[in-house]
Structure 1
Amino acid sequence: MACMKTIAPDHTLDPLYRRVSWRLMPFLFLCFVAAYLDRVNVGFAKLQMLNDLKFSDTVYGIGAGIFFIGYFLFEVPSNLLMTRTGARIWIARIMISWGLISSALMFVNGVASFYLLRFLLGAAEAGFFPGIILYLTYWYPAHRRARMVALFMSGVAVAGIVGGPLSGWIMKSFAGLHGLSGWQWLFLLEGLPSVLIGVWTLFYLDDGIRDARWLGEHDKQALERAIVEDRQHQHSMPLAQLFRSGKVWLLALVYFLCVMGLYGVSFWLPQLIKNSGVTDVFDIGLLSAVPYGVAAVVMVLAARHSDRSGERRWHTAVAALAGALGLVAATVWSDNTVIALAALSVATAGILTTFPIFWSLPTALLGGTAAAAGIAMINSIGNLAGFVSPYLVGAIRDATDSTASGIYLLAASLLAGAVLVVTAVRPPR
């Protein structure tokens, strides 16, 4: 990677950045909880949906993963449009549209409607995650950003903590109410909050520092100076050059390999817990919160350590390696609930910790239009693993009547990502 100068933090701005963080991060965190819950609640719906609709695990895997085809096609255009329309309007549009489509999944009645709505959900949500990553570059210089990305991405963990028990409770308690199955109520009740939060976004979010009415002029100028200084060490390049950049493609490959593991856990965690001997859907939901609870703590602590040390590659690699080892251990001891759950906790913590630290690499490198398109390009290519991962695990499970080989494949992918980020990505300095 190109050399990037590390800027020493100006600690006199710490109180101001704390104020900014308290204003922005709880709200962005809430948005991501809603986004991730609507993206992966199909993993819980699977426990009832497959039997009701007579779907195979391969059909489920394709439906879970086809989300990312829509995501891939629309992500770069979405991020470029956000730079034109502003973050407030565009993020609100994304949230409202995906919330409505997520709720519409309650009307799935066959393979075609399942595939179509999952594809549309991905197209609607495209741009949300890279849009927020780009949005954080408007406010925070590189040396403060990993912690903020970690706080934002801990929404994944909290979605698992809250979503597991909530999904299990909805599916068990609402089953049969007004003639609807539990999985139909799940999609309806977990999709509507995204619509409401999207409307709230229109009134709460600011497009950037200059638009923040809650900041005084002196504070705005101090924040803007920090961003200007940070951007002096970034590279802006034409879009055509960006798509030919080996650095960007390398980062996209690392991200792809790590995302393989992420969606292995996200879409198959309930099934892995069920495989260990737990049968009640509510108990599965409660137990699935444990790995995410561990991950929520670990990812924030690791990102804080990475920010303080300024080191990114080894932090990313060690987290990915821990994720791989945890998946292997959970598979080897799959018939022991306690050991499997402990191993899944290590796997989930390792995998989720990989991402906020990883995102410090491209956001420190790219600036200008290259940041908007580059972040979206890396994220969209990497998230194609969200299609490949559940499809492969589902197909392998149908062929072998076991998830073991599929999970080993995901572990190997994480291991390859760890090796690549250490050996091929040159450290920023």
Structure 2
Amino acid sequence: MEFGRPVLVMACFFSLIACVGGGGGATAVDDDGKTSPDDATHSIMMTPVADGLENPWALAFLTDGDILVTERPGRLRLIQDGNLVEQPVTGLPEVWVGGQGGLLDVEAHPDFANNRLIYFSYSAGTDSEQTTRVTRARYENGALSELLTIFEAEPYRDSSKHFGSRLAFDSQNFLYISLGERGDRAQAQDRLDHVGSIIRIHDDGRVPADNPFFSAPDARSELFSIGHRNPQGLTRNPFSGDIWSHEHGPQGGDEVNLIRAGLNYGWPEITHGTNYDGTPIGPSQQEGMEPPLYHWAPTSIAPSGMAFYTGDRFPNWEGDLFLGALAGRALVRLQVAGNEVTGEERLLESEEMRIRDVAEGPDGYLWIVTDHNPGQLIRLEPAE
């Protein structure tokens, strides 16, 4: 794709998928009589906004029109007036970079216009032991100050994968943090270990007294849910207020989950995926463990980033959930009715892009970043 030139991309077909709930693999079907209207899709025009990014991981819109983009090798970049500022944002703490680790998510505080606070997650430690850390900072004019580490996953471990590491605020300004199990499957079921979980804290790092394990002697008080493999998508449903997440399965078994307090989402006791050699891991359901709302099997799409669409630029997509697909090399649209996923559409497949994050901008357009070197920040607009 030539930088700076809008490119028209036709959307692919919209179909219902057999893997809704406890169903089977990702085969296009029309189950139980539901239909997909012809006008449910849009033609898309892609407009590259920033080029030359090195493995960008996340983007955040600020109320003054600026955009922040993280680069996994440890840089925070600023897009101002539609242009990438050459000098990275200054004041970042030391970031451990290796494997899947580095500078990961970034999120503006819901009251950023008044307090100028941003939050970012990253891997920290040494070459022998690393963890996921979340730091709060004040952002002004391309610089960070007043840094405060508000969460650090314990214990540290020697693994360069499955950091998870998405951030999301709910309507009460509680901060949720997704943590992968760092490749240590059993620890996703250990409530004395932070990994393989969704964390919930106040915006200053304090632990809410109504967290489900706040007073439990056999659990970390920050835990909100457990049993997660590598959740790289986390967002608030603006229509219901619920927190939704998605996570990477092993070979197959990628999941979309509705996150509820105290629930166990099953990894590795239940999964729709298999080991990479094809051998089974476990059953897909078990009493006391929460099945996914939606899953992909037998082929993984490797989901990353997610956002509900609320704007009017794409009127047929209001209320739908969008997520990037790394292995699937597409932008995936999930049609949502309440707490049920009723259909799926693959967009931008012909572009062969590893989409790392997706967000709705204040302009009502969809924005994505591509996990390449060089990567791009791209605005998606309706072509009609």
If the TM-score is normalised by the length of the shorter chain, which range does it land in? Answer: under 0.3
Larger radius of gyration: 1
The structure with higher relative contact order (CA 8 Å, sep 6+) is: 1
Question: By percentage of residues, which structure has more helix?
Answer: 1
Calculate the TM-score normalised by the size of structure 2: 0.27
Question: By percentage of residues, which structure has more strand?
Answer: 2
